[in-house]
Amino acid sequence: MDINEWITCSVKQNASDLHLCSGYPPMWRIDGELQPIQTSACCNAAQLERWGDSWMTAHQRQQLHTEGQADGVLTTLDGIRLRAHLFRQYAGLSVALRTIATTAHALETLHAPPSLASLITRHAGLILVTGATGSGKSTTLVAMVNALRQQQACHVITLEDPIEFVYSSAPCADRGLIQQREIGVHCPSFAHGLRGALREDPDVILLGELRDGETIRLALTAAETGHLVLATLHTRGAAQAVERLLDVFPAQEKDFVRSQLALCLQGVVAQQLVRRRGGGRVALYEVLLTNTCSAANYFA
């Protein structure tokens, strides 16, 4: 099979990830377990190079050449959308591919608790969605954004690296506006894009990740000034998410950041995927809801 056939096959098998590594047979991850694709020959370095060249932009090729790795999103002829990470290692080029959903789930079909749905009725503040890599944070965020758009007319700006799910205007064409910006394509950084978003009259700002102190400061400012900010973190629990945010800052700034969080943090959604009996995986949610009094006591 060629690479496109491996991709098609992995989607049919409900694999979340596909790994193509020079000198190894292709491997996929199904229900969290890494497995080799049976009867497949080893990946060839030249084959991977040709495949990457067939879809990468000039910027991505240059990035791979100078930095040894590059990220991108591609859509196959079959309409399969994938997030791709290409990187060089001892044996040659390797590719890690993750399937991106092309249809959105409703919160109900994700079996999300009612408390999560109540979070998005808040008109301003910060909502964090946390979990390990591959825990379904992006899927939950898409469901939250679509639920918001169905409830009210709002202007949503997303800042993503890269853009994964492409929102359709069709279900909510008369319910506001959504604009998606990609880091490195439409703006140089999350902080730069967020600074611009504050001048673009948004109701809701979605941040793909809170990566650094400057981005966190701007996100808190946006949440304090009447915007609903949704953002992700890589932590395994709700309490750890707050600690992770504070750990970014030096000691002399922590008290100020605590006071900001006490005022604007609306809730934290922590999730993990567990295997379902009979196959497949399901998300388990931990939802931390705050109010001004409890948050003030917690962060004191």
Closest CA to 207 of 121, 123, 138: 138
Sheet holding 81-89, edge to edge: 33-36, 27-30, 17-21, 92-100, 81-89, 69-75
How crowded is the C-beta side of 241, counted as CA atoms within 13 Å? 28
- Residue carrying the six token digits 């978003």: 197
Tokens of 262: 């006490």
- Residue carrying the six token digits 């469901």: 143
Model confidence over 196-240: pLDDT tens digits?
999 999 999 999 999 899 999 999 999 999 999 999 998 888 889
Determine the topology of domain 3-100 in CATH.
Answer: Beta-Lactamase (3.30.450)
- Residue carrying the six token digits 């102190």: 213
Its pTM stands at 0.88
Model confidence over 165-181: pLDDT tens digits?
998 765 555 568 999 99
CATH class of 114-299: alpha beta
The predicted pLDDT at position 280 comes to 85
Domain ranges of the chain: 3-100, 114-299
Q: Which stretches does DSSP call E strand in 187-264? A: 204-207, 228-233
In this predicted structure, the answer to whether residue 244 has a pLDDT above a threshold of 80 is yes
The predicted pLDDT at position 288 comes to 93
Same CATH topology for 3-100 and 114-299? no
End-to-end CA distance of the chain: 60
Amino acid at 265: L
